[in-house]
Amino acid sequence: METDITGRFAPSPTGRMHLGNVMCALLSWLDAKSQGGRWLLRIEDIDTQRCKREYALQLMEDLQWLGLMWDDNAVWQSERGDIYQQHLDYLTSLGLTYHCNCTRNDLLASSAPHEADGRIVYPGTCRDKGLKEGAVRIRVPKELEATNGDFIVQRRDGTWAYQLAVVIDDALMGINRVVRGRDLKTSVPQQEFLYDVFGFRKPEFRHHPLLCNMAGLRLCKRDRSLDMGILRKKYLPEEIIGYLAYKTGLTREYRAAGAKELLNAFSWSRIPEDDIMINADCLHASVGQSSGNPSS
Ligand code: GLU
């Protein structure tokens, strides 16, 4: 079955992948592949301070090891500056951009954090100042002013902003299914606004729950106990994928399984709304003395 579904995984290579990143990759792979679609990989390495090529190469190797193969060549954001510049020029030609020299401290002092999630909504301080330098912001329509504010499309040091790059890339790569963690749900209004301004067709967005540690905090690259370096020493790919399938409700009990074996079981109706608690010990207890365990 071939369809025109195109999904993607768009990791930022700021460290070794952890189990939460693997879950994101798996759900997005299953979403695309269960519909006969294509699944692309984009390395989101625009932030040259935090991203490293070696992390990206390791991440690609980890995905292959897990059996999550992408179609086509991976796209690297760090090579796409000209494309972002052309699109920024277009926004500027529409009179939608302006420079801003507010510091983070200025913003903290002048604006109340957003009620729902503590984000700072930019109050438009530099909108009409006609500055020639600084970060570049985009003027949002009235309905986004209170919730999102004029957001940054290029940082003061020239770094492209995630919101701009992600929309341009998803649109130009023909992505029509965006699957990612629910922490990025608040970006949807900004991104949909950019889709409209550029005249791009919007993808369908799916935001999945996050993996949390036992303290209820989302897993991050600092939680070394669940990073791929450690997991690969203890488990087989099918054990990691099988465990994630069990924790996301795709299987009723734990059993080792490759990603392809989950294609039939995959359905968004099975994926819980709430975040999923996890710790290294319960992974071990579920996988248990599985015969393939390389450490047993
Ligand atoms: N690069 C982002 C991250 O690793 C994901 C972007 C997206 O899926 O829209 O968190």
Which residue's alpha carbon is at the smallest distance from atom 6 of ligand 1?
10
Asked if 16 contacts 221 with a C-beta cutoff of 8 angstroms, the reply is yes
DSSP run (H or E) holding 59: helix 53-66
Nearest CA to ligand 1 atom 7: 10
**C-alpha 51 – ligand 1 centre gap (Å):** 13
Question: From its phi and psi, is residue 71 left (phi > 0), alpha (psi between -120 and 50) or beta?
Answer: beta
Q: Ligand 1: which residues within 6 Å by Cβ? A: 10-12, 44, 166, 180, 184
Pocket probe for ligand 1: among 14, 27, 41, 44, the residue whose CB has the most ligand atoms within 8 Å is 44
E-only strand ranges, the chain: 6-9, 38-43, 75-76, 97-100, 135-138, 151-154, 177-181, 204-208, 211-212, 276-277
Q: Which residues contact 47 (CB under 8 A, 6 or more apart)?
A: 12, 14, 159
Question: How many whole angstroms separate alpha carbon 138 and alpha carbon 154?
Answer: 9
Q: Which atom of ligand 1 is nearest to the CA of 187?
A: 9
Span from the CA of 108 to the centroid of ligand 1 (angstroms): 25
End-to-end CA distance of the chain: 40
C-alpha 260 to ligand 1 mean position (Å): 24
Residue 208's SS3 state is strand
**DSSP letter (8 states) at residue 165:** H
pLDDT by 10-residue block (mean), the chain, 296 residues: 86 95 98 97 96 98 98 98 98 98 86 70 94 97 92 97 98 98 95 98 98 85 84 96 96 96 97 90 74 46
pTM to 2 decimal places: 0.93
> Over the stretch 126-154, which tens digit does the pLDDT of each residue have?
999 999 999 999 999 999 998 889 999 99
Pairwise CA distance, residues 226 & 21, whole Å: 10
Mutational pocket test of ligand 1: of 51, 77, 180, 202, the residue with most ligand atoms within 8 Å of the beta carbon: 180
Residue pair 234/293 in contact by the 8 Å Cβ criterion? yes
